[in-house]
Amino acid sequence: MDNKELWEKLSELSTQVATLRKEMELRFDSVAPRGWVHDVLDPIKQSISKIENAIASQSATVGDLAEKMKMMFESHDAFLKEKAESEREQLKSQTWSGLIKKYAPVVLFILSLFTLFGVLRVWIESLMKAVPR
């Protein structure tokens, strides 16, 4: 039995108990002043109240459970989406354009280092030439 069915059963039960209470009150209303009626009815009324309380408590538990299940499945969805996204990113990074994107900064850095060393070499050479022997 899933949550929805449980809800429906509880709701049905609640309606039946409410009808029972109403019927009982209607039927015995005319003879209520008589003492023996209270002796018979009061325990029944108390039992009905207990059943109503139990139904209310169960309904709250089912509602709470449904809320928790919803939260759990929402976080499962979020986890799956995140996983799929990261796998897609990983796949993207394995393509040529992805590889170029990934390694372009490193290549640029190495090229700039070579350029810098080239400039430095020319500068040092010109300095050495300029120094009188």
Partner 1 sequence: MKRILLAEDDPDILYMLQKLLCSEAITCDAVLDGQAAISAYDKAVYEDRPYDLLTLDAAMPLKTGYEVTEYIRKKRSDDVPIVIVTAHTEPLAKAHADYAGATDWWPKPFEPHEFKRRVLDILSGKPRQEWSTSGLSKRDEVSHG
Q: Which residue lies nearer to partner 1 by CB, 2 or 39?
A: 2
Q: Which residue lies nearer to partner 1 by CB, 23 or 64?
A: 64
Q: Identify the DSSP state of 133.
A: -
How many residues in the chain? 133
Q: How far, CA to CA in Å, does 2 sit from each of 6, 54, 62, 66, 72?
A: 6, 19, 10, 10, 16
Q: Which residue lies nearer to partner 1 by CB, 84 or 110?
A: 84
Q: Give me the 58-97 binding string for partner 1, x by CB under 8 A, dash otherwise.
A: -----------x--xx--xx--xx-xxx-xx---------
* Cα 131 from chain centre: 75
CA pair distance 54, 77, nearest whole angstrom = 34
Q: Give me the 22-61 binding string for partner 1, x by CB under 8 A, dash otherwise.
A: ----------------------------------------
Q: Tokens at residue 58, please?
A: 């169960």
How many other C-beta atoms can be found within 10 angstroms of the C-beta atom of residue 108?
Answer: 10
Smallest separation (angstroms) from partner 1 to the CB of 54: 26
What number of chain residues touch partner 1 (CB under 8 A)? 13
Please give the residue ranges that form the binding site for partner 1 (CB under 8 A): 2, 69, 72-73, 76-77, 80-81, 83-85, 87-88
